[in-house]
Amino acid sequence: MSEVAMNDVIEVDYEQPACATQHAWVRVPVEPGPQRRAELKDKIRRLLKERNAVMVSHYYVHPDLQDLAEETGGLVSDSLEMARFGRDHAATTLVVSGVRFMGETAKILSPDKTILMPELEAHCSLDLGCPIDAFSAFCDAHPDRTVVVYANTSAAVKARADWLVTSSCALEIVAALHAKGHKILWAPDKHLGDYIQRQTGADMVMWQGSCIVHDEFKATELQALMHDHPQAKVLVHPESPADVIALADAVGSTSAILKAAREMDAREFIVATDNGMMHKLRMLNPGKTFIEAPTAGNSATCKSCAHCPWMAMNGLEAVAQVLEQGLNAIHVDPATAARARLPIDRMLAFTAALKGGNDAGALVPNIGAA
């Protein structure tokens, strides 16, 4: 971390009441029996048609919600693709299985659509750890910096940002900003911010939030596991601590991890991200073995054990109920949504240019330009 960053960190206390994970764990739904499970799936299929709705599920939610989304013409993906898919799909209702900021992002991009979520209390430690008042004060203290925030933030925090990023495009966007002379104010994930700072050399001041899942991966125990599986390749999400990232054969977003697992010449992988990913990894790579990176061991302080309690709150019963009764609709204040849309649209335009092989850097203004 740079000297500047060291002087400008904001520490986040994860034991604050709003971020205690036990409230989420007690609300994780009980697994339905086989008959109830089949009934619920049938009911959801029928309601999706009747309500002109589509399911958009994150890689970390229950496998049933992933499979059902794909089977019914919806999507399973990372937060960037979820946002893009929801915006472009013709359905008038989106059922977003994931955490709160994903529903809010969908509403910001599709204000005329109804956005339903199985669980409105499904939060994210990054979002909870970056309240708007403290974040605004941080921005006010650094008026010369371009504000780059991660997707895992509230609509109000996004509305203070110049650019939004997800883990699948953060490196490219910060590199483009750095190349045009921008100094960065980064929030909220400290590990991803540090990783990007090391990769790009950008001048970044950091908010010091973290993901309660990825923060728990342990380098010492990972080394022991690697010793037991010498042929295994190690895939790491960049929200993990630097000493875990340093052991990786590939570092990247959930989509990048899927791509690496498909393309790398190995039969065995150790994976440091939420274990909800294992469903898709195993489904797409029959014959390959995927092992969870350790969160336990002598240095463990585990609050999550490689699974996000807020993601785990999403279940079939709740999806059927919100669809049937129109419950849990997401609302975002229109003025906040309009301002928050600017950094999201910038990110989507940048990533579309990258994907199309165009000069995405041209979308970044030189510092001092209007």
Q: Which residues bind ligand SF4 (CB under 6 A)?
A: 60, 99, 124-126, 152, 211-213, 274, 308, 310-311
CB 57 within 8 A of CB 345: no
For the bound state, the minimum distance from the C-beta of residue 334 to ligand SF4, rounded and expressed in Å, comes to 26
Smallest gap, in angstroms, from Cβ of residue 160 to ligand SF4?
A: 19
Could you tell me the two tokens for 344? 């999201």
Taking the complex as a whole, the smallest distance from the CB of residue 13 to ligand SF4 amounts, in Å, to 15
Q: State in angstroms the smallest separation of the CB of 321 from ligand SF4.
A: 22
Q: How far is the CB of 153 from ligand SF4 (least distance, A)?
A: 10
Which of 217, 290 has the CB closer to ligand SF4? 217
Please name which of 55, 81, 110, 149 lies closest in space to residue 330, comparing C-alpha atoms: 110
Q: State the minimum distance, in angstroms, from the CB of residue 311 to ligand SF4.
A: 6
Taking the least distance from each CB to ligand SF4, the nearer of 126 and 147 is 126
Q: Which is nearer to ligand SF4, 53 or 311 (CB)?
A: 311
Is the CB of 64 or the CB of 78 nearer to ligand SF4? 78
* Residue 185 amino acid letter: L
Toward ligand SF4, which CB reaches closer, 109 or 211? 211
Structure tokens at 240: 């993990």
Contact 232, 226 (CB under 8 A): yes
Residue 34 burial by Cβ neighbours in a 10 Å radius (0-12, 13-18, 19+) = exposed
Nearer to ligand SF4, 101 or 182 (CB): 101
| Residue 17 burial class via C-beta count within 10 angstroms: exposed 0-12, middle 13-18, buried 19 and up | exposed
Q: How far apart are CB 239 and ligand SF4 at their closest, in Å?
A: 6
> For residue 276, which of 253, 296, 295, 254 has the smallest C-alpha distance?
254
Nearer to ligand SF4, 188 or 343 (CB): 188
